[in-house]
Structure 1
Amino acid sequence: MISYKEYKHGKTDLLIAACDSDLLGKTFHDSEKGLKLEVKKDFYGGSEISAEEFGKQLKKATIANLVGEKTISKAIDLGLVATSSVLKIQGVPHVQIVRGL
């Protein structure tokens, strides 16, 4: 399952925060790159949804913050993310999407 949360701003902006459910509440580090990724429950924690439902919602987003293999694989399958854009922090994939309207 995917943990999914929406943040709306105005009439057109929709930020989606989503992660593989098993990553919720964990922190990952990459000391070589000086990176830290906190998968905080207050930001990513929301509804538990299927990858199929997540894909439907992700298509509506203007901004997305995604963490985890299942979550990012769905975004790649939809053509919203290039594999070359995925950053790995302690082996965990992370990507951000920003789309214009």
Structure 2
Amino acid sequence: MAGSIMYLKTHTSDGTLLIAICDRELIGQTFSDGLLTLEVSEFFYRGEIASSSDIRDALEHAMVANLVGERSVGHALEGGFIIEENILIIDGIPHAQMATAASLPVNASGATDVIGRD
């Protein structure tokens, strides 16, 4: 069942745990819809082969996550880590990002700065 394989890779920067999860068959490909381009690089996404429970555990502990592919994004959606409205479709490929409140920058007044929100 090679088509059901997902990769999970962890990255750490300044104490922030970021995970990258993608469907195996998307590794090394680039997708574009004319406005957005998504590069599924081996460096960033190709980690260990992960089961559904590995993905869930990683999402529970991650501060930031990048997800690419139907299965990877689907697991995050089913687990309540992301919402459907925040899933982008780039050249037919689902892509989503997750950030916990602890990973968002806080401004001088103590409020969380959220980029792209009014």
What residue identity is the alignment partner of 2:12?
A: K
TM-score, normalised on structure 1?
Answer: 0.91
Match of 1:30 in 2: 33
What residue identity is the alignment partner of 1:19?
A: C
- Which consecutive residues of structure 1, in runs of 5 or more, have no partner in the other structure? none
Match of 1:8 in 2: 12
Based on CA coordinates, which of the two structures has the bigger radius of gyration?
2
- What fraction of aligned residue pairs are identical, expressed as a percent? 37
TM-score, normalised on structure 2?
Answer: 0.79
Matches within 5 A, 1:1-101: 1-11=5-15, 13-31=16-34, 34-101=35-102
- Which consecutive residues of structure 2, in runs of 5 or more, have no partner in the other structure? 103-118
Higher relative contact order (CA 8 A, sep 6+): 1
What residue identity is the alignment partner of 2:10?
A: E
Aligned structure 1 segments of 4 or more residues deviating by more than 4 angstroms: none
**Deviation digits for residues 73-97 of structure 1, max 9, x if unmatched?**
1101111111111000011000111
Question: What is the root-mean-square deviation of aligned Cα atoms in Å?
Answer: 1.0
CA drift at 1:9: 2.9
